[in-house]
Structure 1
């Protein structure tokens, strides 16, 4: 008897191109301090420093490698099988079509149990490997596409980025000219969201792949995007999501996927009523094109995103807002 193991393939997300370039005028790094010179639209140029926490927030991102996942699943599967069925012989057989777990038993009822147990255990082990390395299936449990677990990464990064996010919040509020405050109708949260969007757009775009495209799933954790001052569309979207989660935990967010692109959406009303929105469940969301380098304000999208929203041809992962407590401001 044998069970064939198959592993899943990943995909990457690409850039949104734009004509204008967001205004990061200078960047340097000194250990855990990040120094910027940045201009938000027509506001005065700001020089400021962001400080990362003393310890690393999340592990450095590990690029998807099917062989590592396969090695973990196979070795642990054989070990667990031998412990659960000590009288049964289990062996791994490598074939041109993949790896097969062979087993032998004189008990026909036990063979039927093993036949059911092995694929179930394989699934449990594979999901455990994904969770440990911040990966997940793209879509439902039967999906054969693997990608970073964007919302979990954002949520787990947000606490460590809270003080950094508050510094950015103060810079945005202090530097915003009257025209921007009027645009967002004295809504401080909307103003900060727009400012954070501009700041993250200004981080240089990098596709994070080799020219031959053989690196697999490319991604950087939020802290890596900041320290390396680069990122692709989903890496920068997750950084933005983590910063918003740190400042406004009650704000519901979604990362939205269309072919070869990702962008963020937040459950905020349109500032003027003329912006594009998308609906998730019963809630309207404001799209945020985080990739850059174009300075695209909240509620304005690239043509590809706009058509996907109009035709409802997108998928998403939701990061629900936390319930506010009575003693919170």
Structure 2
């Protein structure tokens, strides 16, 4: 094993009634042996993201067009006829009528309706419109939404992780999570904008398969940190062919951080196999950050009743 490379010493999963018990052993950033055991319910493992499939543009367009038709049949526009045409993966909607103002208003209504229905469809299927730093646009997995919907299942790890971290502060807990995720075997990232979700594993599926690409590992890390620290502000950072996270805690000398929408984020690489602690990035990642070749996406949890989630973790400065 090369110096500084993550090493998973063992991984086992065992069925126990309607659940599975997972056990991991690995070496952390200081080459100390770490381990964690937890149990996940079958529902979370196999049912949570049953609506998540590879994105198929032709199917998406047909579904969106069908919903537009249904809405317009229930809410016809007086004096305007609506016609629908579909060619391969594209559809066309045409409004006709004798009153030009009514036709113009109908097109505006259709545009609003299409935008609303498209957004709803993408949300249902865990996808989103995305534009990278080179202004190339496409559809990518909605990692924030998948992370959010994974937190409830991952909360069972919270007491186990806090038990392993002798001093309960954000840095130590984050580095424990980072070394755990970095040690999970890596699979190559498909093109984010053209892969249609191929190769992406939601957090519990990543644990089940014991492998994931950088987008999958980033999402697992974000969900685990959200389960540990419900109120902390995070960001998901995308560069060409790679992804990592940012956490809103103060940077120390020599650490890599960014400011995004007036919030400072200390950066971290969950992917591995390099064992990089919080604030340290791979050279190519740091170069992309320094050149501004990245997109940052907020991951801020909204908690309606803050009294229900005490802040268990503190920063070094608060202790």
TM-score norm. by structure 2 comes to: 0.81
Within 5 A, what are the aligned runs for 1:183-262?
Answer: 188-207=169-188, 209=190, 215-218=195-198, 219-262=200-243
How many Å separate the matches in 2 of 1:152 and 1:62?
A: 14
Matched, 1:148 2:130: no
Q: Alpha-carbon deviations, 1:221-241, whole Å to 9, x = none?
A: 111111111111111111101
Higher relative contact order (CA 8 A, sep 6+): 1
The 1-side partners of 2:186 and 2:98 are apart by 60
- What is the 5 A alignment of 1:259-270? 259-270=240-251
Distance 1:108 1:225, change over 3 A: same
Q: Which runs of 5+ in 1 are unaligned?
A: 1-17, 175-185
Task: Report the count of equivalent residues.
Answer: 296
Offset of 1:144 from its aligned partner?
3.5
Q: For residues 80 and 326 of structure 1, what CA distance do their matches in structure 2 show?
A: 41
CA distance in structure 2 between the partners assigned to 1:52 and 1:326 by the alignment: 23
Counterpart check, 1:78 vs 2:60: no
Shift of residue 80, structure 1, vs aligned partner: 1.5
Match of 2:292 among 312, 320, 326: 312
- What's the Cα RMSD here? 3.0
Aligned with residue 126 of structure 1, among 110, 118, 124 = 118
Q: Is the 8 A contact 1:251 1:322 kept in 2?
A: no
- SS of 1:138's equivalent in the other structure is strand
- For 1:55 and 1:115, locate their aligned partners in 2 and report how far apart those are by CA, in whole Å: 44
Q: Which residue of 2 aligns with 1:39?
A: 27
How do 1:102-117 and structure 2 match up within 5 A? 102-106=94-98, 108-117=100-109
CA contact (8 A) 1:82 1:89 kept: no
Contact 2:215 2:243 in 1 (8 A): yes
Say which SS state the counterpart of residue 153 (structure 2) adopts: coil
Local SS of the residue matching 1:116: helix
Instruction: For residue 62 of structure 2, give the secondary structure of its aligned residue in structure 1.
Output: helix
* Superposed structure 1 runs of 4+ greater than 6 Å apart: none
Q: Which residue in 1 is equivalent to 2:157? A: 164
**Residues 1:118 and 1:203: Cα distance change in structure 2 (over 3 Å):** same
2:189–2:241 CA contact under 8 A, matched in 1: no
Question: CA, structure 1 residues 79+107, in 2 after alignment: closer, same or farther (shift >3 Å)?
Answer: farther
- Secondary structure (helix, strand or coil) at the match of 1:164 reads helix
The residue that corresponds to 2:260 in the other structure is: 280
The CA deviation string for residues 112-133 of structure 1, in whole angstroms up to 9 with x for no partner, is 3322222221111111101111
SS of residue matched to 1:56: helix
Check conservation: 2:4, 2:29, Cα contact below 8 A: no
Of 44, 54, 57 in structure 2, the residue corresponding to residue 63 of structure 1 is 54
Mapped partners of 1:187, 1:310: distance in 2: 32
CA shift at 1:191, angstroms? 0.9
Q: Which residue of 2 aligns with 1:328?
A: 310
User: Shift of residue 55 of structure 1?
Assistant: 2.3
Conservation of the 8 A alpha-carbon contact between 1:277 and 1:286: yes
> Residue 254 of structure 1 aligns to a residue in which SS?
strand
Q: Are the aligned partners of 2:57 and 2:89 in contact in 1 as well (CA < 8 Å)?
A: no
Partner of 1:127, secondary structure, is helix
Separation (CA, whole Å) in 1 of partners of 2:137 and 2:107: 22
Structure-to-structure mapping, 1:89-104, within 5 angstroms: 89-95=81-87, 98-104=90-96
Q: SS at the partner of 2:150? A: helix
